[in-house]
Structure 1
């Protein structure tokens, strides 16, 4: 899918600036801020109970300047939540405007001077940043650019703009969840949303909000549910409850883009032979297990097919 660029309409930025900006975030979020000099990271701010509250991409522009790229509809709420924690920390938190995100699905990182490594980062100067998607390198390259530099960037790399549907199909083929509808803020534990496998939780870092529940789930109990991609045949409008072949509750279908979607599914249901097919509304669902998600909960799901 290289050669196209998608400019999502639902992304916005917060700028954190100050000598204590990194230390301030370090005690709050799921990833290690000390890794940001050479990498872009994907992480989250959780509730004390370990549920997702906000997700974001973290870009370091300098030793004292960080950009948080998040959902536009939730930027102000994220800002207010961070300000509650600021107290006497020497850090300024403010919206950042005049820049946009470009998604380059399936792009070759080498074409942008990047190694094929999750989160590999390059600073372009003039406010431009490019990085390999930190969740899964096959997602492609992510860029942050000043609005007035986007036409030049597209032309220099032979890119044409495409609709967001192209991005959603690409990420769902790989099985990567994204956005408020799929992640289910305040309802979904970080590990249920696969944040452990997507590099969005650093289990070796110090304390952060929601760490106790997240660490216990990782090291001792394991998630009982997971966000998994599904192939959809039939009519259904998410969100919709999912039932198994016996009529028992099996989860929730959270999104649909064409014949692909994302569902939060009970893993115990998926291990039973009598549970298939799964249904939501008038549709039949076929879950598949992404190859990047380690099968700690070994389940008889089909691997993602090529060419979806």
Structure 2
């Protein structure tokens, strides 16, 4: 695959500026903030860290890519559709924290399928999925459309909140954020932490986003995935022969259909080791 660069008009930026940005975000975002701080102390500002903002009940408001710009400034790359709500939420929680939170008017570009050009920041998920990709927040020359990036995501089982599913629809673990290094299970409390930690600790993980391919017409968003006569999941998004579904992991094997389409799960190598064996009684 050759390098491709695509604009992402559905993504937007928030700037958090001030000496308290790390302690402030640590209680609000799932991301490993301490790792970002360690990165900053070494003068490394070239890596993005993945995370999410949750409701108190654990459902996702949105995902976020965190880019430390300096020792006192960090940018949040979030879905444009959720930026205003998140901006208001962050300002509500600010209280006495020494931070200023504002929207930024910068473009978002993604590069994938090859070595990253100058100006692009490596995404922390790249090493997990074993394929290179990163983002830039300055104008770039596009060589591909967002559809090409969507195809890359679907074949690598990377969901995009705001594009593939809505806020308040999924738990962070449903979206595989625990497997993508986006949840720090060792830090103290953050909004939504209690249920997220309990799901992981007790092994109460019933559903995960899995990629699939299909034949025939694309199944519609929300279409029920059936394994014989049993409900096995729900289609989140599908296009150009590939898609993502929220699947019951105990019903992932068998002849699967969604609407009039026959579907075949594509279990990514980075997910497969974390899926339990299937009970015959599932």
- If the length of structure 2 is used for normalisation, what is the TM-score? 0.88
After superposition, residues 1-308 of structure 1 pair within 5 angstroms as 1-36=1-36, 37=40, 38=44, 39-97=47-105, 99-109=106-116, 112=118, 129-137=119-127, 138-147=130-139, 150=140, 154=141, 161-235=143-217, 236-246=219-229, 248-271=230-253, 276-299=254-277
- Size of the aligned set, in residue pairs, is 267
1:18/1:65 contact within 8 Å kept: yes
Using the TM superposition, give the Cα deviation of residue 180 of structure 1 relative to its aligned residue in structure 2, in angstroms: 2.2
What is the aligned-residue RMSD (CA, Å)? 1.9
How far, CA to CA, are the matches of 1:47 and 1:281 in structure 2?
32
Does the CA contact (< 8 Å) of 1:101 and 1:142 recur in 2? no
- Compute the TM-score of the two structures, normalised by the length of structure 1: 0.81
After TM superposition, give the deviation of residue 187 of structure 1 in Å. Answer: 2.0
- In 1, Cα distance between equivalents of 2:203 and 2:170: 16
Q: Deviation string for 1:120-148 (max 9, x for gaps)?
A: xxxxxxxxx5322222344423232333x
Distance apart, 1:294 and its partner CA = 4.7
Q: Which runs of 5+ in 2 are unaligned?
A: none
Contact 2:213 2:243 in 1 (8 A): yes
Structure 1 residues not aligned, in runs of 5+: 113-128, 155-159, 301-308
Deviating beyond 6 angstroms after TM superposition, the runs of 4 or more aligned structure 1 residues are none
